[in-house]
A and B are shown apart, each in its own frame.
Chain A
Amino acid sequence: MRLANPTMLASGILGLSAESLGNIVKGGAGAIVTKSVGLKPRKGYSNPTIVQTSCGLINAVGLPNPGINEFVKEIREAKNFNVPLIVSVYGFSAEEYAKVAKKAVDAGADAVELNVSCPHVRETGSEIGQNPEVLAEVVRKVKASVPKPVLVKLSPNVTDMVEIAEVATEAGADALTAINTVKAIAIDPETAMPILSNKIGGLSGTAIKPIAIRCVYEIYEHVKVPIIGCGGITNWQDAVEFILAGATAIQIGTAIAQKGPSVFKAVTRGINAYLKRKGFKSVNEIVGLSHRN
């Protein structure tokens, strides 16, 4: 899979409709990742599903999605944007992951990203990504049923992320995305109540950037497949930091709230200017550079 630039949309951000994905492409994204879709429709949690904190955003939306059978319409439409289309997939079993992935690829997805890292829905997401045996089975089943690249999106909410990354690649993952949101909570002092209806959610935005970079840095030393860095990226400096830590490409989510879809153009321009100023010819030359120093 070739990208026009190393920036990608992170899953779950405006990724439920083809038209919104189109806006992200116009904003300059090198690839788009859809909202995570499952086999059946899901309504998600009731509000509040999002809390803005002083240092980031906590969400527990609960994976609302129309189910893959309905979502194939959006996939077919989003195919026409001339950038790689990656469909994010979740399931409650290895079979479900494989079924959804196959339908997504049949509808035209260029790759799938396995969401084994959503921190707030039971029996899927990070509950799968935290269990090495289950994770390996999911990756193998999906690999066996689709002829396209399989990305595995990792959760930081584990004791040893390197172990999980190795399990995923040994099972056949073509690339790893790191990271999904970090488990978090916000409590209102006046009412003494957790604010999110699900109480616990996932933290995203600037606050998690140093954690995400550390994750990429650690994984890079142990796996050979490309790593896609994600978590708190808002400008080109952040993106470069991820690349120096070992990421081949990066994803942007929460920053879109402040900067709009053109954040992708701005980050790409910044990365290119940096490469030129430093005398590098391509992003590949600086992937993991910090490990040499």
Chain B
Amino acid sequence: MKLSAYRIATNTLRTTRILSVKTESPTVRTFTFKDRQCANAKPGQFLMLWIPGVDEIPLSILDAKENGIISVAIKKVGEATQALHNKKVGEIIGIRGPFGNSFTLKEGRILMVSGGTGTAPMLFLSKKLASRVTRLISVIGAKTRDELLFMNGMKKTVDKEKTQIIATTEDGSYGIKGLATTPVERLLEKEKFDMIYTCGPEQMMRKVFDLAEKYGVALEASLERLMRCAVGLCGSCVIGGYCVCKEGPVFTAEQLREVKNEFGVSKRDFDGRKIPLE
């Protein structure tokens, strides 16, 4: 199965105003705005957000409502994300997108493993999966308790009886002490899953991928690479022969096998050189 599709690249920048800002954790804020073109965005897709005079950055779509209300969760890590965190309701931002492919909507027994803002597309995905799943286990990892994201949102999307949320923190301040991958092997030993979805730090996803391979479970992972054009022209975002902006960001285990020597290992820097993932 190949998730690639060549979409028409007529996706011009439009400006819109920030409708709301919500603090989710000490480093993460959720922004909403109106954008008709993103109204039908699917879980896994991303948009390019222009911060006028500063930068344009790729962000996963956290939610897209039919009325065009879109949300994104932004972690403060550098100049652009800091500038966004300083923005207030009513200020202007620019949007291009939605770009890329999306997670396939599976039925049955689902395992989600996410870390950091990687939980954003997982929450969106769980909403779309709600009517299809018979069981959903969501492992959410963070460094500390106050950085755990969307725990409540995730609890509410799928039937209570079917859902189990497992939190992990590196400092042990909440849930299981360790990384998001810590409980995964035990889960795979115990239960059968029809699909694993994962999004978060790439080393984490690589570990989940290796476990999925070991236990023979299907997997889809959402990758991040440097984005410039987002339409498959500039080549900044390549992993193996794939453009993450166009043939990704969601990759199947089959595709990840082809790029095993890069996945979780290296990425391309701004000058196109391969550098180790930090």
Contacts and interface: CB of A to CB of B under 8 A. Distances in A.
A167 B71 CA distance: 55
B15 to A, nearest CB: 4
A257 to B, nearest CB: 4
B94 A195 contact: yes
A22 B52 contact: no
Given A14-B235, A257-B232, A23 B50 contact: no
A57 B234 CA distance: 12
A126 interface: no
Interface stretch (A38-46, A105-113, A176-184, A276-284): A38-46
Contact of A42 (B6, B228, B271): B271
Interface stretch (B113-121, B165-173, B190-198, B236-244): B236-244
Contact of B241 (A23, A57, A256, A258): A23
A41 B275 CA distance: 13
A48 B56 contact: yes
B8 interface: yes
A19 B52 CA distance: 34
Interface string A232-271: 0000000000000000000001101111100000000000
Interface stretch (A63-71, A84-92, A96-104, A140-148): A63-71
A37 to B, nearest CB: 9
B231 interface: yes
B241 A70 contact: no
A191 B15 contact: yes
Interface string A1-24: 000000000001111110110110
Given A48-B56, A59-B229, A17 B235 contact: yes
Contacts of A188: 13, 15, 52, 94
B97 to A, nearest CB: 11
B174 to A, nearest CB: 36
Contacts of A23: 241
A78 to B, nearest CB: 12
Contacts of B268: 16-17
B52 A193 contact: yes
Interface of A is mostly: loop
Interface in A30-66: 35, 41-44, 46-54, 57, 59, 61, 64-66
A35 B10 CA distance: 24
B77 interface: no
Nearest to B8: A258
Contacts of A44: 228, 270-271
Contacts of B269: 43
B11 interface: yes
A229 to B, nearest CB: 19
B12 A22 contact: no
A50 B229 contact: yes
A190 interface: yes
B9 A258 contact: yes
B57 interface: yes
Contacts of A53: 12
A67 B6 CA distance: 30
Interface in A176-227: 188, 190-191, 193, 195, 197
Interface in B1-41: 6, 8-13, 15
Contacts of A61: 228-229, 234
Nearest to A254: B233
A73 B277 CA distance: 20
Contacts of A19: 238, 240-241
Interface in B228-269: 228-236, 238, 240-241, 243, 268-269
A257 B271 contact: no
A71 to B, nearest CB: 8
Interface of A: 12-17, 19-20, 22-23, 35, 41-44, 46-54, 57, 59, 61, 64-67, 70, 188, 190-191, 193, 195, 197, 253-254, 256-260
12 contacts: A14-B243, A16-B235, A16-B238, A20-B238, A35-B272, A41-B271, A44-B271, A47-B56, A49-B56, A52-B12, A257-B231, A259-B6
**Shortest Cβ-Cβ A-B pairs, 6 listed:** A47-B56, A257-B9, A43-B270, A19-B241, A260-B6, A41-B271
